[in-house]
Amino acid sequence: MAEELPIRVLREHEVLLRVAACGVCRTDLHLMQGELSSAHYPITPGHEIVGYVVQSGPGVAKWAPGERVGVPWLGATCGRCRYCEQGLENLCDHAEFTGCTLDGGYADYAIADGRYCFAIPQCYLDAEAAPLLCAGLIGYRAYRIAGKAPRLGLYGFGAAAHLLTQIAQAQHRRVFAFTRPADLESQRFALELGAVWAGSSEEHSPEPLDAAIIFAPEGSLVPRALAVVRKGGRVVCAGIHMSDIPSFPYALLWDERSVSSVANLTRADGSEFMRIAAKIKLRPAVQTFPMAQAAAALDALANGRVLGAAVLINK
């Protein structure tokens, strides 16, 4: 339900942004379904914000009025806990998250801590840039954790996977795309983007994989992925929420296979990814919706009717 709220006074390091575009992420669905224990309610969703600086609060030196900035999932950290001190701010004990504990971008205006915002490569339109800020950033962290995998499996071919396929192809890796059963449209889309094979998540890949990244929130995919990675292979769970992982034979984990998760992102991840995005000129596929149609966009995402990424736009 849309509601008009006053714009509060800016605090230190904050910027007020006029929202141009905001990506629609599966995490927003988890948020609305009450599946994120860290969420604060009521909350304005949206953590892939592309906006233009309207006003700066005290202590902001990096951003000037009129500049375009990107606001990601990681909205603030304490800078003092053991994780922040070790360069692991993605695991900060007191982190704040855009659209989850901080109001996000399903709005005309948004407030963000300027220290956690990113410059966006000029080659991207506002709507194209939005999915870079989560599907791209957190997807890229998962890609890095997967290691130097010449044969990479991607389970769930949505916003993140369609960007990672392009990065993998540019780095001469081979992508194997796993989709919902009978989702032939997504399989065709994956092949068009350069995947060497695409099929159902219930199938085995035609050859052993070096690593697999799971974007779909289905715990049952973990043992399936373990069954297709080689000895020493790695399975990375990239979502913030996943259904329970069923029990599976130890033999699937044997031979030094491993399972790991990805939590959030660091600002270093974001800066590195934006450089790569500009260099290889990623082609985000976006389906746009007016901001007032956020519910329709979420429904389309939930029911698999989006190829690439859904993005809300303000005109």
pLDDT in tens, 138-168: 999 999 999 999 999 999 999 999 999 999 9
Please indicate whether residue 35 or residue 2 has the higher confidence score (pLDDT): 35
Do 166 and 188 fall within a single domain?
yes
Instruction: Please indicate, yes or no, whether residues 167 and 125 belong to a single structural domain of this protein.
Output: no
Indicate if 158 and 201 belong to the same structural domain: yes
SS3 category, 266:
coil
Q: What is the pLDDT of residue 1?
A: 62
Same domain, 154 and 240: yes
Beta bridge pairs of residue 212: 153, 235
Question: Which residue has 């990113």 as its token pair?
Answer: 118
Decide: helix, strand or coil at residue 294: helix
Say yes or no to pLDDT of 106 above 80: yes
128 and 227 co-located in one domain: no
Query: Considering the chain, what is the average pLDDT of its residues?
Result: 96
> How many helices (H) and strands (E) would you count in the chain?
9, 15
Residue 315's pLDDT band (cuts 50, 70, 90): confident
Residue 153: the pLDDT is 98
Q: How many domains does the chain have?
A: 2
Report if residue 279 sits inside a domain. Answer: no
The answer to whether residue 269 scores a pLDDT higher than 90 is: yes
114 and 146 in a single domain? The answer is: no
Does residue 55 lie in a domain region?
yes
Neighbours of 256 (CB within 10 A): 9
Tell me: do 167 and 254 sit in the same domain: yes
Question: CA 221, 131, 197: angle at the middle one, nearest 5?
Answer: 45
122 and 157 inside one domain: no
Distances (CA, A) of 54 to 17, 108, 120, 227, 256: 5, 12, 17, 51, 52
> Are 217 and 291 within one domain?
no
CATH code of the domain covering residue 70? 3.90.180.10
CB 41 within 8 A of CB 100: no
Q: What is the pLDDT of residues 193-251, one digit of tens each?
A: 999 999 999 999 999 999 999 999 999 999 999 999 999 999 999 999 999 999 999 99
In the Cβ-directed half-sphere of 176, how many Cα atoms lie within 13 Å? 22
**Assigned token pair, 15:** 């910027």
Q: Do 53 and 80 lie in a common domain? A: yes
Tokens of 92: 């900060």
Segment 172-196 shows an average pLDDT of: 96
Number of other CB atoms surrounding residue 109 within 10 Å: 16
Q: Is residue 300 one of the residues assigned to a domain?
A: yes
CA distance 50 to 182: 34
Is the pLDDT at 7 greater than 90? The verdict is no
pLDDT confidence tier of residue 172, bands split at 50, 70 and 90: very high
What's the pLDDT at 4? Answer: 82
Helix 137-145 and helix 267-280, axial crossing angle in degrees, nearest 10: 100
pLDDT tens, position by position, 271-290? 999 999 999 999 999 999 99
3-state SS, 19-77, equals EEEEEECHHHHHHHCCCCCCCCCCCCCCCCEEEEEEEECCCCCCCCCCCEEEECCEEEC
| 5 lies in some domain | no
Q: Is the pLDDT of residue 177 over 90?
A: yes
Answer whether residue 60 is part of any domain.
Answer: yes
Residue 91 placed within a domain: yes
What CATH number is associated with residue 157? 3.40.50.720
- Is there a single domain that holds both residue 194 and residue 211? yes
Q: CA–CA separation, 54 vs 46, rounded Å?
A: 19
- Note whether residue 274 is domain-resident: no
Percent of the chain beyond pLDDT 90?
A: 93
Range of the structural domain that residue 90 is part of = 14-134+285-313
Tell me, yes or no, whether 244 and 296 share the same domain.
Answer: no
Residue 212 lies in a domain: yes
Joined together, the tokens standing for residue 185 give: 């449209």
Q: Any alpha helices (H) in the chain, and if so which ranges?
A: 26-32, 82-85, 126-129, 137-145, 159-170, 184-192, 221-226, 267-280, 294-302
